[in-house]
């Protein structure tokens, strides 16, 4: 089974991403009442063995970075990783804090920040990944998000999500939140097992444009 992607397939994926993220930005502004700038996504296909060093190079203070990890299943399988620099969650709290949120105790403050990060992650991942697979006419569902850190992501990569010589498709974009000096990066890593499904979806998309 050939899991490498042709130049045409990667170009098509890039095109779908551009479309998905373009519409997601406008909808995000309406949903979260703040303008979120979505930068043009950068699609790359790389060997899994190279993925960790790629993430380390892209994300400052990688091991301490705050990561929202959300797996998706269905007609495509993979994981979305929304990566914020360490401490960024403090900046985002006021954007997403609930009207009924009470801060009661020390542990709770940290937990609240984690919960807020998960809500943000859920919305951003739903907006972008959801749009991507909508365009590809593939139905996916999500597992609940969880927060983790760069170190745990490395563990995730190294322990079982992929085989070492598999290819990972990374879609990287940067979110910039208006008036907040914070940006995050989104990586979508497609499971190798669903590479054929993705290739089929891209072929269908390509033929629909012709």
Partner 1 sequence: MNDDQVLDTLPIGLVVLDRSYRVRRWNHWMVMQSGLSQQTVLECSVFNYYPELNKPSFLRACKTVFTFGNVVYLSQKLHRFLFPFELPANHTSGLTHMQQSCTMSPVRGDDGHPQQVAITIQDVTDSVILERRLRAVNNIDELTGAYNRRYFSARLREEIERHRRYNHRLSLVIFDLDHFKQTNDSIGHLAGDHALIEIRKLAEEQLRDIDVLARFGGEEFVFLLPETGREAARGTAERLRSEIERFSLTWRERAFRVTASFGVAELNHGMGGETDLLEAADQALYVAKQKRNAVSVAGNSG
Q: CB of 135 within 8 A of CB of 16?
A: yes
d(CA 206, CA 30): 30
- 179 contacts partner 1 (rule: CB under 8 A): no
Unique residue bearing structure tokens 């995000």: 28
Nearer residue to partner 1 within complex by CB, 145 or 150: 145
Nearer residue to partner 1 within complex by CB, 141 or 160: 141
Q: Which long-range contacts (CB under 8 A, 24 or more apart) does 197-200 make?
A: 197/75, 197/76, 197/138, 198/13, 198/76, 198/136, 198/169, 199/5, 199/9
- 61 contacts partner 1 (rule: CB under 8 A): no
Residue 61 zone, left/alpha/beta (φ > 0; ψ -120 to 50; rest): left
Residue (of 138, 94, 96, 140) closest to 121 by Cα position: 96
Nearer residue to partner 1 within complex by CB, 24 or 65: 24
Record the tokens describing residue 16, joined without a space.
């779908």
- 208 contacts partner 1 (rule: CB under 8 A): no
**Among residues 30, 164, 179, 208, which is the contact residue for partner 1, using CB under 8 A?**
30
Nearer residue to partner 1 within complex by CB, 41 or 126: 126
Cα angle 186, 30, 97 (rounded to 5 degrees) comes to 70
**Among residues 27, 61, 63, 165, which is the contact residue for partner 1, using CB under 8 A?**
27
**Among residues 1, 107, 208, 210, which is the contact residue for partner 1, using CB under 8 A?**
107
Which residues from 125-154 bind partner 1, rule CB under 8 A? 125-127, 130-131, 134, 141-142, 144-145
Binding site for partner 1 (CB under 8 A): 24, 27, 30-33, 87, 90, 98-102, 105-112, 115-116, 118-119, 122-123, 125-127, 130-131, 134, 141-142, 144-145
């Amino acid at each position: 089974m050939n899991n490498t992607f042709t130049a045409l397939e990667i170009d098509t994926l890039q095109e779908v991403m551009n479309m998905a993220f373009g519409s997601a930005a406008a909808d995000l502004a309406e949903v979260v009442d703040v303008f979120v700038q979505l930068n043009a996504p950068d699609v790359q296909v790389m060997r899994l063995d190279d993925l960790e060093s790629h993430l380390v190079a892209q994300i400052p203070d990688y091991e301490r970075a705050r990561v929202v990890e959300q797996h998706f299943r269905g007609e495509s399988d993979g994981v979305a990783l929304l990566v914020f620099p360490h401490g960024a969650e403090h900046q985002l709290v006021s954007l997403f804090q609930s009207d009924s949120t009470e801060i009661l105790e020390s542990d709770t403050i940290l937990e609240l920040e984690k919960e807020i990060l998960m809500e943000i992650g859920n919305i951003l991942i739903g907006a972008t990944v959801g749009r991507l697979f909508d365009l590809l006419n593939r139905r996916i569902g999500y597992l609940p998000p969880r927060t983790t850190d760069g170190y745990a992501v490395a563990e995730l990569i190294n322990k079982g999500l992929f085989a070492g010589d598999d290819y990972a498709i990374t879609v990287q974009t940067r979110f910039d939140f208006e008036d907040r000096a914070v940006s995050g990066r989104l990586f979508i890593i497609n499971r190798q097992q669903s590479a054929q499904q993705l290739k089929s979806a891209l072929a269908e998309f390509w033929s629909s444009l012709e």
